[in-house]
Structure 1
């Protein structure tokens, strides 16, 4: 069951980013337990976590001031569709990593691109960082296209780094520097 909410934090054209609340835990679990999502989001063995593991993960994120996870909510419908986060913040060098997870039935509709644009604005204009990095599985073409729309560029390839579907796949390393982001705002 996906719940509806009223509270918002950062607003895009299609989505808002807001804090995650206890009321989101069930919706979060529903998104994260879909095997299609698990195969796209991390490189560990895609075994579904327990509800207790989800709760522990969410409570730890909210207490770490160098990691910021937001709920992604549809702007008009106020429906939770996933999460987006900033993590591994290196304040000395002005860098961070980002990650996003969206329910499969909400993918391919521009919500992820919109959410990433809102998050990048937060990173560059509020956190004052200089570079944003991410890793994406080479077979996740839809995500790669979304990241490129946001201005990310390929910086490297970790060859045959991931074992999925009975064979090895590349992981792409992508980055976006503040000055390149600012060029897209003109």
Structure 2
């Protein structure tokens, strides 16, 4: 009896398989979480299309057990790839899994991968399909129990009078980013927070925008920037510690993680000074259907 490849029909089974592998650096995929319950929620929310189509394929061995899997979180013609996850499948089976995924989504042009540096098997696969390595990224972590909170907060919540200076700094610091200044402001609420650091004269020194998800006990620092004229004067560490203090004031949040460019030593120095420690190094890849394997 031979194995089979098909669409995942059991997200709970799949979530446990992904969690088991993703907690091992040799199989780790950066887009996927570590806890089965959280992975299950994301599968339910992001991997079922409006038409009900499930965007995850699995390969099973002759005993019916999952031995490889791959899925895509789709945004129009672009997809973040969860995988390939492969514990025992042969390279031939993994290639068949990838080829079937391509057939299932013929209009997808661009695929993004995020692999742990110790995931050698999938780095070799990236070379085989002629994907392009686009960057190296550090995953930094900080636990609440290891952080000394700031008592005197100098940053303030955003007000409309801050917009012009905020927009100028945000546009300069992140010229091609996914959230423009107006988008950030439109999202603000009790869990989407924009902090502004100003001098006594009212000059914009820096800002930080973060979001908390209390249902998942998570916090994401999306943007953090210090004005060029205010850099190397301790304002970055000050603002970052204040933001982390406010995030840890949510009793549901016990840990923070950040993904930063590995080669951005200047910014990373600020994170390390604030107490963050390196957890993983991940490599990002891009695959374009028109350039690589069909």
Question: In which range does the TM-score fall when normalised by the shorter chain?
Answer: 0.5 to 0.7
Distance in 2 of aligned mates of 1:93 and 1:47? 29
Distance in 2 of aligned mates of 1:150 and 1:96? 16
Equivalent runs, 1:111-126 vs 2, <5 Å: 111-124=235-248, 126=249
Of structures 1 and 2, the larger Rg is shown by 2
2:181 to 30, 54, 76: 54
Partner SS for 2:281: strand
Q: Which residue of 2 aligns with 1:25?
A: 163
Cα deviation for residue 139 of structure 1 reads: 2.1
Distance in 1 of aligned mates of 2:227 and 2:218? 27
Cα deviation for residue 161 of structure 1 reads: 5.3
Partner SS for 1:33: helix
Q: Which residue of 2 aligns with 1:152?
A: 276
Q: Which residue of 2 aligns with 1:67?
A: 192
Q: 1:71 to 1:57 in 2, by over 3 A?
A: same
TM-score between both structures, scaled by the size of structure 1: 0.62
Partner SS for 2:205: strand
Q: Which residue of 2 aligns with 1:108?
A: 232
Q: Deviating runs (4+, > 4 A) in structure 1?
A: none
Q: 1:47 to 1:116 in 2, by over 3 A?
A: closer
Cα deviation for residue 143 of structure 1 reads: 1.1
Cα deviation for residue 28 of structure 1 reads: 1.0
Cα deviation for residue 153 of structure 1 reads: 1.0
Cα deviation for residue 94 of structure 1 reads: 2.6
Note the aligned Cα RMSD (angstroms): 2.5
Q: 1:109 to 1:54 in 2, by over 3 A?
A: same
Equivalent runs, 1:160-171 vs 2, <5 Å: 160=284
Q: 1:161 to 1:29 in 2, by over 3 A?
A: farther
Distance in 2 of aligned mates of 1:141 and 1:158? 16
Q: Which residue of 1 aligns with 2:112?
A: none
Partner SS for 1:78: coil
Distance in 1 of aligned mates of 2:213 and 2:164? 31
* Structure 2 gaps, min length 5: 1-150, 287-294
Distance in 1 of aligned mates of 2:283 and 2:250? 32
How big is each residue's C-alpha offset from its partner over 1:96-122, in whole Å with a ceiling of 9 and x where there is no partner? 122311212222211010011111221
Equivalent runs, 1:68-87 vs 2, <5 Å: 68-74=193-199, 76-87=200-211
Partner SS for 2:268: helix
Partner SS for 1:101: strand
